[in-house]
Amino acid sequence: MSKVHFYRETKFRKTEIGEVPEGWEVKRLKETVKKIKAGGTPKTTVKEYYENGYIPFVKIEDLTQTGKYLTQTTLKITEKGLNSSSAWIVPKNSLLLAMYGSLGEVSINKIEVATNQAILGIIPNEVELNTEFLYYWFLNFKPKWVIYAKTTTQANLTKQIVENIKIPLPPLEEQKAIAKVLKDFDDLIEVIDKKIETYERIKKKLMEIYFTRGVFEHKTFKDTEIGRIPEGWEVKKVSSLLEKAISAHGIKENEIKSKGKYPVVNQGKTFIVGFSDNTDFIINNNLPLVLFGDHTCEVKYIDFPFIVAGEGVKLLKPLESVDVLYFYYVLEKFKPKQEQYRRHFRILKEKLIPLPPLEEQKEIAKRLKAIDDQIENLKKQKEHLQKVKKKFMDLLLTGKLRIKLQ
pLDDT digit string, tens, across residues 278-320: 988 899 988 999 999 999 999 999 999 999 998 899 999 999 9
Determine contact, residues 304/263, Cβ cutoff 8 Å. yes
Please report, for residues 136, 221, 291, the alpha-carbon distance to residue 188 in angstroms, rounded to integers and kept in the order given.
16, 46, 34
Determine contact, residues 36/30, Cβ cutoff 8 Å. yes
Q: Provide the number of structural domains found in the chain.
A: 2
Please report, for residues 6, 113, 403, the alpha-carbon distance to residue 9 in angstroms, rounded to integers and kept in the order given.
9, 40, 10
* CA-CA-CA-CA dihedral for 11, 14, 18, 23, to nearest 10: -50
Which phi and psi angles does 38 have, rounded to 5°?
Answer: -80, 165
Question: Is residue 164 domain-shared with residue 265, that is, in the same domain?
Answer: no
Q: What is the pLDDT of residues 225-275, one digit of tens each?
A: 999 999 999 999 999 999 999 998 889 988 999 999 999 999 999 999 999
Q: Can you tell me the mean pLDDT for 184-195?
A: 97
pLDDT on residue 81: 86
Determine contact, residues 307/363, Cβ cutoff 8 Å. no
Q: What percent of the chain has pLDDT over 70?
A: 99
Q: Residue 390: pLDDT above 80?
A: yes
Question: Is residue 57 domain-shared with residue 164, that is, in the same domain?
Answer: yes
Is 73 domain-assigned? Answer: yes
Question: Is residue 157 domain-shared with residue 32, that is, in the same domain?
Answer: yes
Which residues span the domain enclosing 254?
Answer: 234-355
Domain boundary among 169, 187, 215: 169
Name the pTM for this structure. 0.87
pLDDT on residue 342: 81
pLDDT on residue 153: 67
Residue 46: band (very low, low, confident or very high) from pLDDT cuts 50, 70, 90:
confident
* CA-CA-CA-CA dihedral for 388, 394, 396, 400, to nearest 10: -110
Please report, for residues 80, 167, 239, 246, 298, the alpha-carbon distance to residue 29 in angstroms, rounded to integers and kept in the order given.
32, 6, 62, 57, 44
pLDDT on residue 328: 98
pLDDT on residue 155: 77
Is 58 domain-assigned? Answer: yes
Question: Is residue 40 domain-shared with residue 146, that is, in the same domain?
Answer: yes
Question: Is residue 260 domain-shared with residue 159, that is, in the same domain?
Answer: no
Residue 2: band (very low, low, confident or very high) from pLDDT cuts 50, 70, 90:
low
Question: Is residue 149 domain-shared with residue 39, that is, in the same domain?
Answer: yes
Is 360 domain-assigned? Answer: no
Q: Which residues of 327-351 are buried (b: 16+ CB within 10 A; e: fewer)?
A: bbbbbbbbbeeeeeeeebbebbbeb
Is 368 domain-assigned? Answer: no
Give the dihedral sign, CA 275/372/368/234.
positive
The SS3 assignment for 192 reads helix
| Whole-angstrom distance, CA of residue 44 vs CA of residue 39 | 15
Question: Is residue 161 domain-shared with residue 33, that is, in the same domain?
Answer: yes
Residue 395 identity (one-letter amino acid): L
Strand pairing of 150-151 and 155-156?
Answer: antiparallel
Q: Can you tell me the mean pLDDT for 370-380?
A: 98
pLDDT on residue 151: 74
CATH number at residue 338: 3.90.220.20
Question: Is residue 146 domain-shared with residue 238, that is, in the same domain?
Answer: no
Q: How many CB atoms lie within 10 A of CB 184?
A: 15
Which phi and psi angles does 228 have, rounded to 5°?
Answer: -75, 130
Report CA 282 to chain centroid distance, whole Å: 29
Domain boundary among 355, 378, 399: 355
> How does the average pLDDT of the chain come out, rounded?
94
Determine contact, residues 234/227, Cβ cutoff 8 Å. no
| Whole-angstrom distance, CA of residue 272 vs CA of residue 367 | 24
Q: Residue 222: pLDDT above 80?
A: yes
pLDDT on residue 84: 81
Domain boundary among 132, 152, 169: 169
Is 204 domain-assigned? Answer: no
Question: Residue 15: beta bridge partners?
Answer: 18
Q: Residue 1: pLDDT above 60?
A: no
Determine contact, residues 183/191, Cβ cutoff 8 Å. no
Q: What is the pLDDT of residues 68-106, one digit of tens each?
A: 999 999 999 998 888 888 889 999 999 999 998 889 999
pLDDT on residue 250: 86
Q: Can you tell me the mean pLDDT for 18-45?
A: 93
| Whole-angstrom distance, CA of residue 220 vs CA of residue 301 | 32
